[in-house]
Amino acid sequence: MILSKPDHETYKRENAIREKTIALCGNPNVGKSTLFNTLTGLRQHTGNWPGKTVSAAEGRFRLAGNSIVLIDLPGTYSLFTHSPEEEAAKDYILSGNADAIIIVCDATALERNLLLVFQVTSVCHKAAVAVNLMDEAERKGIHVDLDRLSALLHVPVVGIAGQKKRTLTPLLEVMKGLLHSEEGQNGSVHSALNEAEMKSFPERAHGIAEEVISQSSPSPDRFDRQLDSIVTGRRIGYPLMAALLAGLLWLTIRGTNIPSQILSEMLFTLGDRISGLFLAFGMPRVIHDALIFGVYRVLAWVISVMLPPMAVFFPLFTLLEDVGYLPRLAFNLDKPFQCCGACGKQALTMAMGLGCNAVGVTGCRIIDSPRERMLAILTNSLMPCNGRFPILITLITLFIAAGSPLLAAAVLTLIILLGVSVTLAATKLLSHTILKGESSFFTLELPPYRKPNIGQILVRSLFDRTLFVLRRAMTVAAPAGLLLWVLSNVGADGKSLLALTADCFEPLGRSLGMDGAIMIAFLLSWPANETFIPILLMVYLSRSTLMVPPSSGELREILLAHGWTASTAVSVVLFTMMHWPCAATVLTIFNETGSIRKTAEAVALPTVCGVLFCCVFKLIGSLLLS
Amino acid sequence: MEGVVTLSEMPLNAMGRVFCVRSDGAQLRRLKDLGFTPGASVQKLMTAAADDPSAYKICGCVIALRSADASGILVWTDVGGSGK
């Protein structure tokens, strides 16, 4: 579209005011999000598996003194789309909203990427190609002739390594060039492309790939294949998965003991000081108590108990993600899930759920089939999130595997494997009842293993998680603590409201092998699972003296004094694993499904499982004892 | 000996060329987007436990397909063949 002179002046004037927009598109898993992060400084969560980005992200960066909007589109294999996310990417590309489009390609897997390059450059005249992961290609002895590629494609081509800012200079130059160029852009796919032309794309791609790619080593994928033979091997694959899980959990347990103690001591001393300060300033006793015993106690607990496990688990998990292990997990587990009417990608969403169930539910977008996506959403809460880890770890180390982190890790691994089994069973049941259907068409891309930037991951993860825990503690735990303190200090007939409510739930609690206090602790920790133990303690010790996170010995004493036995601990562990999703997750489920009915089902499913397991366990216990 | 077999019947590590893709609609579209077009070079790399799914090298990338879906793709196997 060539503008006539008068229009052109208006166009230039208008555009000078409006912020320019550049969109990043490309096949899944080529490093668009990493590039986006490097340019904008935002911290979008990245990982080495296809489909990681499920919605477009927007950020800004400076180019030649101007602020430019950068859009990171979800990966798409072609403009003739398949899933809603790819549809969104396609719509954006064709909308004309982007002033320039950068098609990001993987230097180690260029041929297939070219198919999308052909499509986009046919309809968009302000496009350029950024061949990413050039450092990985170099490591493998793969060389790409960028100049020749540019000549063959008739668009600018640059080579970059997305996470290294210094390699981006040529890309920035190309972007400047595109934004200042005078040509118009875009048209509809159907007007620009015809079937005959599209049919020639694969052959053209192959031809171009042969011309521009050269390998200095005969088999650049040798390392990947060797690693895959171990990771997906028939005999080693499954044990390796269990071992990795156990290892992850053991490191989490081992790595949290001492930091938790240090944190809680620090916060205890700080709490004393604050308390003294408040009293010195003549603060009314009631307000002092509410703030110190209510707000501060819960805050201190949550931080000292939740931060260390998260600070260990998340970096380790991110490391696995970045290396590219997760798609292999989906590959190994596809068959069992297929037998239950779902697909291997559900395993990925479950792995995400181990970190946070809300994130796991959003991640279900990687599953193409709506029915299988729903299966994954409804069962995600059966995987215990990081908020529930402290509960599980505490109870296991106090009652089941006292003193041995190795045994505790083994028990926790078994418990999570139980969660996996229940998920499979629930998925199968749903597939035969309310979500009837056959397994759908399934494809999974296994990307090349990539060398993770360990230092960067550790620092970024630690920082992210600390911020997250603190923010959550302020916004959820603190108010909850205040509310609880009020409930435990207001009452009638010498009993607080909290204690009265606990009494109401006593029969229900007992029938499940627990008690009333535990039941309302579960109910009241709905906003944040990690507040369960502080709430429980508050119920048990209403109107007590100041007591910031007790040592494990003290905690054990308190629980025993209130009638706990090892079997109570087991019941609580079972119910922790299987009960209604937390508030954030419920909200996310509603957002993703748009259906109150589905959200209700998602709340009911794990709860019913939990009730069932607790009842059966209680039954077995009473049978064994009699 | 050369012959036409389904992708799922291909022996491990064997190389071949795609003969035709017996699918339609969205499934065909997706397979084409991933590189499964007539004439494309394909190699069977590995198989998960229980023989399902299998991973194939196509168009420079590794794609996993279930055997039910892979049986819809016919390949011209190339005994001792070379190529990328």
ipTM of this predicted complex? Answer: 0.91
Q: Is the pLDDT of residue A590 over 90?
A: yes
CB distance B76 to B9 below 8 Å: no
How far CA B38 is from CA of A150, A252, A481, B15, B73, in Å, comes to: 27, 50, 65, 14, 10
Q: Is the pLDDT of residue A251 over 60?
A: yes
| Residues in Cβ contact with A380 at an 8 Å cutoff, skipping those fewer than 6 apart | A349, A350, A353, A357, A360, A361, A364, A581, A585
| Residues in Cβ contact with A600 at an 8 Å cutoff, skipping those fewer than 6 apart | none
Is A338 an 8 Å CB contact of chain B? yes
Q: pLDDT band for position A186 (50/70/90)?
A: very low
Task: State what percent of residues in chain A have pLDDT above 70.
Answer: 91
Residue A545 has a pLDDT of 46
Residue A219 to chain B, least CA–CA distance (Å) = 10
Q: What is the pLDDT of residues B5-21, one digit of tens each?
A: 999 989 998 899 999 99
Q: What is the pLDDT of residues A472-490, one digit of tens each?
A: 888 888 888 888 888 877 8
Q: pLDDT band for position A7 (50/70/90)?
A: low
Q: pLDDT band for position A188 (50/70/90)?
A: very low
Q: pLDDT band for position A457 (50/70/90)?
A: confident
Which tokens go with A210?
């042969």
Among candidates B30, B60, B62 on the partner chain, residue whose Cβ is nearest the Cβ of A209: B60
Residue B58 to chain A, least CA–CA distance (Å) = 8
Q: List CB contacts (< 8 A) between A110 and chain B.
A: 60
Is A446's CB within 8 Å of B64's CB?
Answer: yes
Is B45's CB within 8 Å of A115's CB?
Answer: no
Q: Is the pLDDT of residue A430 over 90?
A: yes
Per DSSP, which regions of A73-203 are E strands? 100-106, 127-132, 142-144, 157-159
Among candidates A110, A335, A443 on the partner chain, residue whose Cβ is nearest the Cβ of B65: A443
DSSP per position, A504-563: HTHHHHHHTTS-HHHHHHHHHTSS-GGGHHHHHHHHHTTT-----S--HHHHHHHHHHTT
CA–CA dist A601, A599 (Å, integer): 5
Is B46's CB within 8 Å of A334's CB?
Answer: no
Q: Which A positions 162-221 lie with beta carbon below 8 A of chain B?
A: 202-203, 205-206, 209-210, 221
Which tokens go with A201?
């794309």
Residue B84 has a pLDDT of 43
Q: Is the pLDDT of residue A470 over 60?
A: yes
Residue A499 has a pLDDT of 84
Kindly report which listed range (A41-45, A295-299, A565-569) carries the lowest average pLDDT score.
A41-45
Give the best residue of A140, A335, A338, A372 to mutate against chain B (max B CB count within 10 A): A335
**Residues constituting chain B:** 84
Kindly report which listed range (A39-43, A409-413, A540-544, A613-617) carries the lowest average pLDDT score.
A540-544
| Residues in Cβ contact with A502 at an 8 Å cutoff, skipping those fewer than 6 apart | A515, A516, A517, A519, A520, A539
Quote the pTM value. Answer: 0.86
